[in-house]
Chains A and B, each alone.
Chain A
Amino acid sequence: GDSVTQTEGQVALSEEDFLTIHCNYSASGYPALFWYVQYPGEGPQFLFRASRDKEKGSSRGFEATYNKETTSFHLQKASVQESDSAVYYCALGYSNTDKVVFGTGTRLQVSP
């Protein structure tokens, strides 16, 4: 079945560091890819999505590029802030099915 793999369970950075959170997927078709962010005590929030190969999604300084060849959608940010501390989820979904598959999440901790 389809799956999403986030290799880093936790990432610890200092403010202004460069962030990469890896996301790889395994899909039988051509899914849309998403990043969601969950702040402490809240529900996940949509960050951005990409629907086709080489499309870049971005929001709030975060970005990721859909790469069909490497089946990846890695999240990056050039300069993180303490307020970016949260759990980040990569996900995939298809327009012709109801299921959305989430990765296991990556907890980002940014120190001042």
Chain B
Amino acid sequence: GPKVLQIPSHQIIDMGQMVTLNCDPVSNHLYFYWYKQILGQQMEFLVNFYNGKVMEKSKLFKDQFSVERPDGSYFTLKIQPTALEDSAVYFCASSLGRGGNTLYFGEGSRLIVV
């Protein structure tokens, strides 16, 4: 099936530093999402993105978070500065259309903030 690629698969970073998580979505998809999953817990919605804009974000999407997809390249999640509570697996997803369409997820980027 369609593949979403996430880079890096895991990263360890010092608290206060910046991190960028990259997502290569399915090629013809237009809607992009980030979800956060703390180990052993449920998946939680962070943000969705369409046509160069954030469409909706949750309370977990703090001011230190930002997303962009410059020139149709990677869809990125940037955290600056990082905090200990940002340690989690971040899943990127993409879909062809709006919320009634299937989401395709990547394998996740495991972020450890120390």
List chain A positions with a Cβ less than 8 A from chain B: 31-32, 34, 36, 38, 41-46, 49, 51, 89, 93-105
Cβ A42 vs Cβ B107 within 8 A: yes
Task: Give B41 Cβ to nearest chain A Cβ, in Å.
Answer: 9
| B→A interface (CB under 8 Å) | 1, 4, 31, 33, 42-43, 45, 48, 50, 55-56, 91, 93, 97-108
Chain B: CB-nearest residue to A30: B100
| Contact A94 B55, CB 8 Å, known A42-B107, A43-B91 | no
**A34 to B99, alpha carbons, bound, how many Å?**
11
Residues of chain A contacted by B31 (CB below 8 angstroms):
98
For B43, the chain A residues whose CB sits under 8 A away are 38, 44, 89, 102, 105
Select from chain A the residue with minimum beta-carbon distance to B106: A43
With A98-B31, A98-B50, A99-B56 as given contacts, are A44 and B98 in contact (CB-CB < 8 Å)? no
Would A46 and B104 be within 8 Å (CB), given that A89-B43, A105-B42 are in contact? yes
**Mostly helix, strand, loop or mixed at chain A's interface?**
loop
| CB <8 Å contact, A93 and B42 | no
Determine how close the nearest CB of chain B comes to the CB of A37; give it in whole angstroms: 11
Q: How far is the CA of A110 from the CA of B5 in the complex (A)?
A: 30
Contact of B98 with A96 in the complex, beta carbons under 8 Å: yes
Question: How far apart are the CA atoms of A32 and B93 in the complex, in Å?
Answer: 18
Q: Given the known A-B contacts A44-B43, A89-B43, are A99 and B99 also in contact in the complex, defined by CB atoms under 8 Å?
A: yes
- Besides A43-B91, A99-B99, A103-B42, 8 new A-B residue pairs in contact (Cβ under 8 A), listed by A number: A36-B103, A45-B105, A49-B102, A93-B101, A95-B100, A98-B31, A98-B48, A99-B56
